[in-house]
A = this chain, B = another copy of it.
């Protein structure tokens, strides 16, 4: 337990708003860095209690009027659509209000508080899987330099990879992340279904998936591309489209991604 009387000067009093995957993993990382949030708020009292119980010295509440008023930072780790309605019910407080959403502008918070910012950890969080927070890029934005400095100092407690970006850049970061993560994972899921449909072991593609991701840690994905569409191997492309006749949705995905690859690598005059 951290003794509030004995807190170091550098301790940042953080109120964590939210109890989902991102809120939980961020809170645990802050706790390991000896700077656990001092309070957890969640619409769900039980979730708030459960998370606070993992954080030394933290209290829990499901009532915005019970929020501590004198914290340094209110970290709003709630879903995009809840962000404004939660901020609107907040009492006046000191400190900074910062949200964690990839696709919400910083100014979403402007009507509600003077010092506002964004603290956006760019990673995919699942309940079951602990991630190494120290390698996660955290993108910071603030409406003045003192906000940016405080958010950066908090981010550096848990990550080696702290960067600044504008709200507009963050929109494109989030969009690019959807392509590189959510869509990619969906392609993995479709390939799992193909293996299952043809009595192949579910882990058959695991080494291929690992190598595909490992390659782009060393070279650009544009250079790393392989496969029939890159080679413009019409025979194989037609054969695959034929195999997909029973699955028109997958056929359409195959067609559109292969066309996009051919366009990227094919003769520029076509």
Chain A interface residues toward B at CB < 8 A: 79-81, 103, 122-126, 128-129, 131, 135-137, 161, 163, 165, 168-169, 171-173, 175-192, 194-195, 197-202, 204-231, 233, 235-236, 239-240, 243-244, 249-250, 252-254, 256-257, 259-261, 263-264
Q: Which B residues touch A171, using CB under 8 A?
A: 239, 243
Q: Which residues does chain B contribute within 8 Å of A137, judged by CB atoms?
A: 204, 207
Chain B residues within an 8 Å CB radius of A168 = 198
Given pairs A165-B200, A172-B197, A209-B213, 19 additional interface contacts (CB within 8 A): A79-B233, A122-B204, A124-B208, A124-B215, A126-B215, A176-B194, A176-B195, A176-B205, A178-B254, A179-B187, A179-B190, A179-B191, A180-B208, A182-B228, A185-B226, A186-B225, A186-B264, A189-B220, A252-B256
Q: Determine if B187 and A187 form an interchain contact, defined as CB atoms under 8 angstroms apart.
A: yes
Complex: A122 Cα to B208 Cα, angstroms: 7
* Interchain CB contact under 8 A, A243 and B182: no
Name the one of B129, B194, B213 contacting A179, with C-beta atoms under 8 angstroms.
B194
21 chain-A/chain-B pairs, Cβ below 8 angstroms = A79-B233, A81-B233, A122-B205, A125-B226, A126-B215, A126-B226, A165-B200, A169-B200, A172-B197, A175-B243, A178-B254, A180-B187, A180-B188, A181-B226, A182-B261, A184-B184, A184-B188, A186-B221, A187-B187, A202-B220, A210-B217
Contacts of A206 in B (CB 8 A): 216-217
Q: Is the CB of B207 within 8 A of A123?
A: yes
B260 contacts A190, CB within 8 Å? yes
Whether the pair A194, B175 counts as a contact (CB closer than 8 A) is yes
* List of B residues within 8 angstroms of A189 by Cβ: 220-222, 225, 264
A179 neighbours in B (Cβ, 8 Å): 187-188, 190-191, 194, 250, 253-254
Q: How far is the CA of A221 from the CA of B195 in the complex (A)?
A: 13
Contact assessment for A123 and B188 in the assembled complex, using a CB-CB cutoff below 8 Å? no
CB within 8 Å for A226 and B182 given contacts A198-B172, A211-B123, A256-B253: yes
Given contacts A195-B176, A216-B188, A221-B192, are A263 and B249 in contact (CB under 8 A)? Answer: yes
Q: With A135-B207, A226-B126, A228-B178 in contact, do A221 and B185 touch (Cβ < 8 Å)?
A: yes
A125 to chain B: closest residue by CB: B226
3 cross-chain pairs, A with B, having the tightest CB-CB distances, nearest first: A182-B227, A213-B213, A188-B221
- A221 cross-chain contacts in B, Cβ below 8 A: 185-186, 188-189, 191-192
B209 touches A181 (CB 8 A): yes
Partner of A216, one of B103, B177, B185, B219: B185
